[in-house]
Amino acid sequence: MKILQQLQGWQGKRPALAHLLATLFADLLSPEYFPSVSTLKYWHLQGIIDNNESRRLTEREALQACATMFLKRAGDKLPAIRNRVASHSLKQLRTLAGQLIDEILQEQQIGSSRVASHAQGVMSSLAHGIVQLYHRVVLSGKIVRQRHEDLPHELLNALSRLGRLHIEAGQEDQAASVHEVLARCRQPLHAWGLPIFTDSHFPFRDCVLIDPDLYVPTIDCLEIAQKHGGSTADILEHESFERLREIAQATEGQANRVYTLMREFIGRFSLTTYDDILVYMQQHMLPNEALLFLVNDVYMEVPEAWLIDGKALRCGHCRTLLRPDPRQPQMPYCPMRACRDLTPSTTIGAQLDARKARVVKPHLLSYWVNPAIDELRIYDAANAAGIPAALYPDMDRCDISLKDIKSNQEIDFDVKAHRDPIMLGKRLNVSVSTSENQSKLIIVIPDGVAKLRSQYIALVKDELIDKDAMEIMLVSTAMHLIKRLAHA
C-alpha cells in the first residue's frame, strides 16, 4: 500500500509522528482521531507503543500508532487494541495497518457512491420535470407561476429531493423557489454549489439542463430524463421528427428527398416569411401536408419581445432571428451558440417585416437548427470540393454522408453537441450499431463545445464500449479531412 510505504524506515520524535499521521491520513479521518503528542505518550504508558523516552521512534512505533488510531475510530477499547498491536512483528503490523486503511477506503467509496446514485436519481427526476414543464408551457402558452397546481408533479417531487441533497450536504435548502432552481439549470451542474456535483466522477457534472439562450430543455436534459425512465411521449423533438417521417413516407418513392428538403430548409432559413415558405414548397413540389407541418408545427409568428425597433432582424451569418441582448435590449445578438462560437461579432443581415416574419419554435431551434449550422458547413464544404455528398440521407441515417472516391468508401458524419462528454459516450453506446451498414462513421464535435471541458474527446472515447465502431473528431478536423479527400 502506497501510503504505508512512506512510513518505511521512518525515524523521529513524538511531535514529528503526530504531524506525519495528521498529514498522511488527512483524507481518511476527521481531525479528532489524530493523536496529539501527549496522546502518543499515554499510548506508550498503556503498553501499546513500544518506545521509551531515551530513543527515537521508528517505523514499528509509527505503525502501532497508526493501527491504534484506526482501531479507536472503529470503537475498540485500549486493552483490546493492546492485544492486537503490542507484540506484533513489523511484518504483521504492516499487514494490519494495510487492512485497516482498506476498510476505511471501502467504507468511503460505498458512502460516496450511495450519495452519487441518490443525486443521479434527483437529477433525472428534475430533468423529467423540466421536460414536462416545457411541454405544458408550449402547449398552453402559460407562464410559470409557482402555484403548485400549475407545476408538474415530477418537478415538485424533484425540488423537494434537491432540497434534501442541500441539507444532507450541510447547506441551507436552496431548492425552495422554482424560479431560482430553473435559473440555476442554465449553468453546468458543477457550478451549483453542491459538493457531489463537483466530483470528477459524477456522471452529469458538465450537464446544463436548460439552454441559456433559448430557454428549452437541452439535449443533455432529454437524455437524463429518458435514460432514467422518463417517457419519450412528452419530448417534443421526438414528436416533430416522427411527424416529418410520416409525411415523407406518405409520398410515393420520394421519402428521402422530401425529408432532406424539409430539414435543409429549416436549417438554412430558421427566420423566413410565410410567402417564402410557399415559394419553396412550390419550387420543390412538396406535398400539402409538408406545408401544414411547417406552418403549424415548426414555425411561429415572431413574439413582440424578440423584435428590435419593431423589426425582425436576421443574423448575417446563420440567418436566424437575432434577439435583443437581455443586458442591452437595443443590441441584437444571435441566440445560436454554434453561430456565436464561429463568429463572435453580431452581423445584421436582412430586416423582415414583423407581421410577415416566421421563426422556428425554440425547441427546434435548439435540436435541429443549432446543430445544422455545423452540419451544413460540412455538407457545403464537401459540395464545394466536388465530393459526392448527401444531407440527412435515408431519413436521418446520419447528418452527412460522403463518398471517398479513391477508396470507394462511404463516410457518415454525425454532429453531436452534447455539452457533457460522458453523457455523449453513453448515448453513442446505445445509438450506434455497426452491423447496420458498411460505411465508416465519424462523430464530429463542434470545436466550441469540445472547448468547454478539457480532454473532451478522450472522455467520450473512454466511455465507448466498442472503440472501433466510430471515429471522433472536431468539426475543424473534419473540414481538413474533406480538403484532403478533395485533393487525393
Chain residues that interact with Zn ion, rule: CB under 5 A? 315, 317-318, 334, 336, 339
Confirm if 214 and 222 have CB atoms less than 8 A apart: no
Closer Cβ to Zn ion, 150 or 447, answer by number: 447
Q: Is the dihedral of CA 450, 455, 457, 462 positive or negative?
A: negative
| Nearest to Zn ion of 154, 213 (CB atom) | 213
d(CA 88, CA 86): 6
Give CA 33 to chain center in angstroms.
39
- Does an H or E element contain 377, and which? helix 370-384
Output 322 or 398, the one with its CB closest to Zn ion. 322
Measured from the CB atom, is 235 or 336 closer to Zn ion?
Answer: 336
C-alpha cell at 80: 483490546
For Zn ion, the closer of residues 21 and 373 by Cβ is 373
Please, which residue, 184 or 317, has the CB nearer to Zn ion? 317
Minimum gap (Å) between residue 244 Cβ and Zn ion? 23
Q: 356 and 274 in contact (C-beta within 8 Å)? A: yes
Phi, psi of 420 (to 5 degrees): -100, 115
Nearest distance from residue 236's CB to Zn ion, in Å? Answer: 23
User: What is the closest distance, in whole angstroms, from the C-beta atom of residue 318 to Zn ion in the complex?
Assistant: 3
What number of residues does the chain have? 488
- If the CB atoms of residues 298 and 339 are measured against Zn ion, the closer one turns out to be 339
One-character DSSP codes across 248-301 = HHTSTT-HHHHHHHHHHHHHH-SEEEHHHHHHHHHHTT--HHHHHIIIIIIEEE
Minimum CB distance to Zn ion, residue 385 (Å): 24
Q: What's the closest the beta carbon of residue 442 comes to Zn ion, in angstroms?
A: 25
Task: Give the single-character DSSP code of 468.
Answer: T
- CB of residue 104 to Zn ion, shortest distance in Å: 54
Distance CA 329, CA 113 (A): 46
Per DSSP bridges, beta strands 311-315 and 348-353 are antiparallel
Tell me the closest approach of the beta carbon of residue 221 to Zn ion, in angstroms: 23
Q: Smallest distance, Å, CB 341 to Zn ion? A: 10
Helix (H) or strand (E) holding 473: strand 471-474
Of the pair 75, 344, the CB lying nearest Zn ion is at 344
- Total H helices, total E strands in the chain: 22, 14
